[in-house]
């Protein structure tokens, strides 16, 4: 059927006009719970659903005979699963947003080669490559080819260590299209030796291990030291610092950025930029190569439960979350005591850093208080932050480590606690 008086609820069989057949649970008109789908093109899926999408454990058999069985999330392969290709090749391991990601094992049936290692965003990144004759290669990969330091272990017990060297780029390659095949690397041998019972463990640890990518969300009320903490985190862990305010301004200034121009129209009309548009801009930025390789620090986002939920749907879940906190009376003293010198733009504090020098009386006389620093404005900002804090806690406390940091202490003490939390495995 293709029409209904009320939303589908409970178990039923749905026959779509284009030929798809679904038998299983429904909730609020959408596929939910256990169910099976056969599409008109011959693909079948049997497993769990949520909100109309494959979500949970399930098995999909594609029209070409390929099979995936494992975890699904929001319609994508996500978590642990096994994919058997029509060629007979098998990958068993981690998935993220539909792509191979994390520890895994890939077996090439035709030539009996087994890759045991780490995948990142769909590509092999480091692995032990075992061959049918008992030989093996240990090392890292870039663009599907060996790259950098590596070692061969032969059936005889001999070891050859060396480096796979990138070929020099020609002028024609500088402007090559993205996705063009990479030229093969060249092996340069350096040291030979003999293998023993520790060789496998040592080579895997030394040549096949990858640093984990750290993605952090940080939030805090005004004057909690969030800016200082963010600066030190970026410096220590070399993360890409993403401030939604800066990101929004850059997107609006870029005439080729469609989402940025949509946001500019809302701002021009004096309206709030919708959550879905803000999330789209965040997703767009966090999906860029620098964030994927270095990791990111997302500053002051998400601010609402819906933003946090949308982030999870886009598979942008932080590794760790930092929440800076301090008593309201401390924040009140820090903020309401701030003053601006309209001539120099310098910020002073009447108690903690008042003007000094020979002209201090003159400077003090011309100081002004910014609108955002009044007690009335601060109370509204604190109420907003309380909602932000709760939204972040509710969204991420069950999916990643979350740390509440007492920001009413010395800066160095606060930093050591933050650093230890981010460094912990």
Q: Which of 314, 381, 403, 419 is catalytic?
A: 381
DSSP state of 88: S
- Between helix 226-237 and helix 411-423 the angle, nearest 10°, is 50
Structure tokens at 77: 């392969």
Q: Which of 120, 338, 339, 389 is catalytic?
A: 338
Q: Which of 73, 77, 120, 303 is catalytic?
A: 303
Number of other residues whose CB lies within 10 A of the CB of residue 152 = 19
DSSP alpha helix (H) spans, 337-374? 360-366
Structure tokens at 414: 């606060």
Report d(CA 236, CA 239) in Å as an integer.
8
Within 8 A by CB and 6+ apart from 95, the residues are 70, 71, 76, 77, 78, 79, 80, 81, 101, 102
Report d(CA 193, CA 153) in Å as an integer.
9
Q: Tell me phi and psi for residue 119, to 5 degrees.
A: -110, 145
Report d(CA 118, CA 208) in Å as an integer.
8
Q: Which of 86, 169, 366, 370 is catalytic?
A: 370
- Is 381 in the active site? yes
Q: Which of 54, 226, 285, 320 is catalytic?
A: 226
128, 113 Cβ separation under 8 angstroms: no
- Is 86 in the active site? no
Report d(CA 248, CA 266) in Å as an integer.
12
- Is 370 in the active site? yes
Q: 282 burial class (0-12, 13-18, 19+ CB within 10 angstroms)?
A: buried
Report d(CA 332, CA 330) in Å as an integer.
5
List, by residue number, the catalytic residues. 226, 303, 338, 370, 381
């Amino acid at each position: 059927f293709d029409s209904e008086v009320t939303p589908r609820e409970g178990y039923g069989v749905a026959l779509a006009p284009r030929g798809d057949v679904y038998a299983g649970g429904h909730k609020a008109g959408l596929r939910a719970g256990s169910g099976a789908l056969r599409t008109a093109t011959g693909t079948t899926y049997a497993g769990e659903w949520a909100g109309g999408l494959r979500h949970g454990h399930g098995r999909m058999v594609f029209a070409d005979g390929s099979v995936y069985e494992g975890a699904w999330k929001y319609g994508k392969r996500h978590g642990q699963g096994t994919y058997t290709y029509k060629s007979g090749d098998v990958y068993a391991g981690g998935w993220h947003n539909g792509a191979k990601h994390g520890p895994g094992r890939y077996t090439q049936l035709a030539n009996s080669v087994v890759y045991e290692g780490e995948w990142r965003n769909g590509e092999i990144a480091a692995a032990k490559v075992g061959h049918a004759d008992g030989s093996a290669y240990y090392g890292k990969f870039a663009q599907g080819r060996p790259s950098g330091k590596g070692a061969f272990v032969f059936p005889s017990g001999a070891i050859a260590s060396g480096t796979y060297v990138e070929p020099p780029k020609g002028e024609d390659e500088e402007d090559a299209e993205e996705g063009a095949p990479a030229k093969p690397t060249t092996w340069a041998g350096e040291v030979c030796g003999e293998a023993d019972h520790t060789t496998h463990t040592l080579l895997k640890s030394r040549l096949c291990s990858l640093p984990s990518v750290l993605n952090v969300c940080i939030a805090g009320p005004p004057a909690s030291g969030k800016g200082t903490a963010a600066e030190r985190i970026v410096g220590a862990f070399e993360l890409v610092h993403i401030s939604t305010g800066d990101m929004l301004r850059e997107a609006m200034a870029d005439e080729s950025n469609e989402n940025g121009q949509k946001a500019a129209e809302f701002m021009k009309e004096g309206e709030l930029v919708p959550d879905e548009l803000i999330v789209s801009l965040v997703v767009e930025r966090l999906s860029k190569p620098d964030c994927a390789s270095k990791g990111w620090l997302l500053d002051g986002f998400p601010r609402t439960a819906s933003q946090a939920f949308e982030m999870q749907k886009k598979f942008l879940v932080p590794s760790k979350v930092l929440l800076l906190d301090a008593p309201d009376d401390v924040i009140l003293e820090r903020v309401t005591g701030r003053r601006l010198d309209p001539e120099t733009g310098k910020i002073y504090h009447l108690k903690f850093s008042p003007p000094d020098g020979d002209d201090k009386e003159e400077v003090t006389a011309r100081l002004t208080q910014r609108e955002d620093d009044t007690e009335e404005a601060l109370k509204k900002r604190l109420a907003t932050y309380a909602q932000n804090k709760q939204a972040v806690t509710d969204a991420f406390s069950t999916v990643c480590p979350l740390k509440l940091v007492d920001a009413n202490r010395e800066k160095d003490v606060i930093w050591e606690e933050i650093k230890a939390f981010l460094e912990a495995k």
